Structure formats: structure tokens, C-alpha cells
Chain A
């Protein structure tokens, strides 16, 4: 039975229980993610990270949460009170909602009922996640506006522009998946990856999605909305106590949500690694949950890795990358994918398909060669030919006869 049929039979109490479980899992994951991120980043920076509260500092996230809850809750005088309170609520509600369509497991035995760990299965499940994500941005934008202060406003503006631009690239990267699986439902996409993960056959889409999901969640190196060096805290500068905790929660649940979507769409969802299919039957099917979260946590680790490695982009570079690289590339890729798909569905000869692929590869090489050439020309133009000393004092260059040689490296 497919997931959709299994879920359709659920009685009300199972649906309610699943909702509670998903909520609890998200909150616990967030608390552990805060600890995990701090430990991993610390390790990358040759530090220890939090290791005092509980074994290995495991309770650090919990303690942080309690600390936040006990802080004084301030609302600035210049703030728009209603919107100021609503904003974090919108943010946190939206990020939990996107989990409703993510299939966490295959067929399992749930208190005597045969069901799948998925709250609901919509035929447009992936679009639903995109829709919810776009509602979630309201939280950030409204927080920025309602704080009645400049830095939050700038942070809010940045983040709205950022999320809208990267959502376009993200949506386009999903089109290839829809074309190949012939469906927009999350569970059917997982089933369609029985043989090959889409991360393999649709590799460019996967890369584009992976980049834009970092942009969409406002995480380093794309965390321009809360760039500490430029905007204090960005949109949440004026927030304190539980309201700030809600934004914090929303950020981490969002990371887990986009990772879960990436797992579902590109890494075969709850299915085991190729060759380990027999493990899916372990624990009466519950072992699929382990596979699912292993993949999600892999993505989370990459998020932390990026944060520990890359410096923040400049805003114009970031926007240029989104609009001038990601979107055109994904459009071209969709053209190629849909042509191939139509060809194979219409039963074109193998020769036609091969020659089309060959032509695409050829065009790719020609374009990249030209780009390399123009790059080289620019580099050549930048070379300093004037070897005469300038008319202002410069420090003496040691061990060198020629100034131009030294300047050009």
C-alpha cells in the first residue's frame, strides 16, 4: 500500500498523536541541534564547546532555553505592539507546519494500526512546503518593521529580498524532480527514487537546491539578514526573552525542515542506502525513521560546516549569484531535463537521445571555454606593465629587480 492510502485510513486519535510527536521531535531536535552546532563549530575552531551541563554538555540547549524564558521581556516604546508580538508567532508556526507533509517512515505498526509516519499526504505536498516557507518570511519582515528601529528594518528588508530571490531558484530546482517523478506529492517522489536517488540523476538540481536552501534559511554564509558586524542582530535586535527564543526555535526548525525536504526529494527519503535495503524491515519498519534522520542530520552537519568555514558574502555578490547564476543555470537545466524526458517518453531512438546529450555537453564546453577566455582577457588587462616607480613613496621591495614582476606575482 502506498503512504497516501495508509494515511487516509488513520483514525482521529492517530492523526492527533502524530502531530504531537512531530512537534516534540522538532523541539527536541532543535535543543540538541543548538548543542551539536556549538560542539561541532568548537571542534572546527580547536575549542571544546559547551561541556559543563550534563554529560558532554548535552543539556546545554535546555538550559539555554530556560535562561531565555526567565529573561525580562521588553517591548520597545517605538515598536508597533501587536505586530511585534505576532511576528515571532508567525515565524514559528510556519516552520512547524511544513513538517506535516514530510514522510518520516515507510509502513509501520503504530499501536496496532498500519500507518506511515506522515501527518498528511497532499498531491501538491512540495508546493505546500514552499507556500508555508513564504508565509514564514512574514515573521522576519514584520519583526524588522515593527521594532521601530533602523537595524531591524534593514535586516527585515534584506531577508525578504533574499528569501524571495532564493525561493525562485529553489522552485526551479524542484521542477526537474517533478518532471522525473511525475508527481508533486512527497511520498510519491520518495517511491519514485526506488532505483536511483535524484541527487544522482538530477545532480545539478540537487546542487542548486542545496545552495538555495542555505539562502532561504538565512544561514551562514548567506546570513545577511542578521549580520552581526553590520546590523547588530538584524531583524531580532529588539527581541528578548521568549519572543527571541521563538525566532531561535524557528531558525533551527527551518534548517531541519529544508534538510528534511532535501532528503525527501533528492536522497530517497526514508529509504536505506543502496544495497542496505534489508534494514528497512528492522524493528517492524521503524528503522526507516533512523535512515531518515541520519540523512537529515547529515545535512545539518553540512550547515554547521558551512558556518564554520565560509565568510559571509557581500550583499550585492549574494544577490548577483542568485539572479545571474542560479536562476539562469536552473532554467537551462530544466530545458535539458524536460527535452530528455519527452524524448524518452515518446520512444525516440537511442541515437537521437545520445546525440542530444552530446550536443548539450558540446554547448556547455563551448560556453565555458568562451567564459574562460574572457576571464583570461580580463586577467591580462589587469597585469601591470609599467615598471617605473610611481610618483609617491612606496616601501622598498626586497630581493627583486623588477617592480612589475613583483606586482603581478
Chain B
């Protein structure tokens, strides 16, 4: 393969330096992806492998492919992956129990099949053919050359793939969609609900620590204009935990004395 590339005359010293520098790192990252414990580290290493692949593409004059690889795979697909990992819980490790019986054998067969398919396809495309040469392929620029191939010779395959992708996206949406069993409470509904309560005491929201308060810590109640403490101004969680200071202590003294 190296001879082939030299014949066409593209492998120059900078490119081979780049290759020998990046290739070991990306192989290490790819291997590390399988062995690190945390899922997020694994995803990061995969992202790195994708970026270094993109750099290889660019070094081999497939500029468009390299940039699109970063935009689509690193930028969108891996990011969504990370997103899900974060939502699901990053600390959870993979369970090694088979959920579906025989899944392991199906997986092994399928991966051998795909490997064979790829090998035979790439072999058929390269073996026994003379290299066309980058100069010819990129004659009108890399982007135009690719566009011409995609929209003339391979337009059918291109459309089929796009139909497949759209179907997959729609399928994902249908599967993920669930109908709401009860209506969502919006700000307006909540406001109406507050006014429908038997007492209007909380219609304007719970009291915050007001101008009469002597203290603004979260475990200290707000004072009402009368000088009385407002127990509703303290989070119910603090109350349940017993982290609350006796409200009476903060009430305005002179008010009580006057009442007496």
C-alpha cells in the first residue's frame, strides 16, 4: 500500500511524520477505550480516535471528509452519547449479564459478517485496480469532485441511505414519544390552582424573609408585618430534618409585650 501511495506521489515526509506520531496515539486510545473503567473516559477516548482519523483524512487530501467526520461524529453523535451517559448516571458500570439469550453469539456472528463484508468490498475496490490518483480525483477541488460523484454516479445509493436515515430518525421519535396522561402544569395553571385553595393566604406565594426580619439564614423564619413568625417561609425539608431554629426566638419582642 505504501508503494502504491508513493507511485501516485503523495506521501511526503510531513505526512509520514504525522502518521508515525498520531497513529500510535490513536491506537493506544482505541485500546484504552476498551479497558478504562468509566464510561465517560471511554467515550472521550473514542472521540479522540475520531478526531485523529479526521486528521488522517485531511492529511491525505480528503479535506471535506475529515471536516465532516468531526462535525458529524465528534460534534453531534459523540456529544449525544456523552449527553446520555451523563443523564443515565456516569458512575454506573456495565452489567455483564446477558439480557437477551444468545445475544453474544448473534453479536459475534454479525461482527464477523460485517468485517468480512468490509474486507471484501475494500478488496474489490482496491485490488487489481490502478490508483486513479488524487490529482485526477481532486481536479476541480475536493468538494466539487465528491459532490459530482455523489449526485451523479452514486445518487441512487445516496438517496437510499438518506431515506434509511430519515426512517431511523422517525422510528426513534415514534419509539421515544409518549402521550401525556395528564396535562402539564404551566405557570398559569399553578397560579389558578393557588387561588382555588380554601385559604387565600398563599395566593401570592410563600413569604420570603421580609423587611421585618432580623436574620436572613434559610433556617430562620420570615416575619410577618405583625411581627409574628411565618413558619411557611421555611423549606419543609429543613423542618423534617429538624434543622430548624425555634421560630418564637425571632419574633419581634415589643409586639408581644404590647399584646400583654
Contact = CB atoms under 8 A, between A and B. Distances in A.
A124 to B, nearest CB: 5
B76 A127 contact: no
Nearest to B144: A123
A135 B67 contact: no
B79 A160 contact: yes
B141 A123 contact: yes
Nearest to A125: B67
A392 B195 contact: yes
Q: Is the interface of A mostly helix, strand, loop or mixed?
A: helix
A142 B67 CA distance: 22
A107 interface: no
Interface string A129-163: 01111110110011011000000010011001100
A144 B41 CA distance: 14
A137 B63 contact: no
A274 B152 CA distance: 40
A167 interface: yes
Contacts of A156: 86
B40 A130 contact: no
A37 interface: no
Interface residues of A, number: 29
B44 interface: yes
A180 interface: no
B193 interface: no
B72 to A, nearest CB: 9
Contacts of B90: 145
Contacts of B82: 138, 141, 145, 160
A275 to B, nearest CB: 34
B79 A134 contact: yes
Interface string A358-369: 000000000000
Contacts of B83: 141, 157, 160-161
Shortest 3 CB-CB distances between A and B: which pairs? A134-B75, A131-B70, A127-B67
Interface of B: 38, 40-41, 44, 47, 51, 54, 63-64, 67-68, 70-71, 74-76, 79-80, 82-83, 86-87, 90, 141-143, 195, 200
Given A83-B44, A131-B74, 19 more contacts: A124-B63, A124-B67, A127-B67, A127-B68, A128-B67, A130-B75, A131-B67, A134-B76, A134-B79, A141-B79, A141-B82, A141-B83, A144-B86, A145-B82, A157-B87, A161-B83, A164-B76, A184-B143, A393-B200
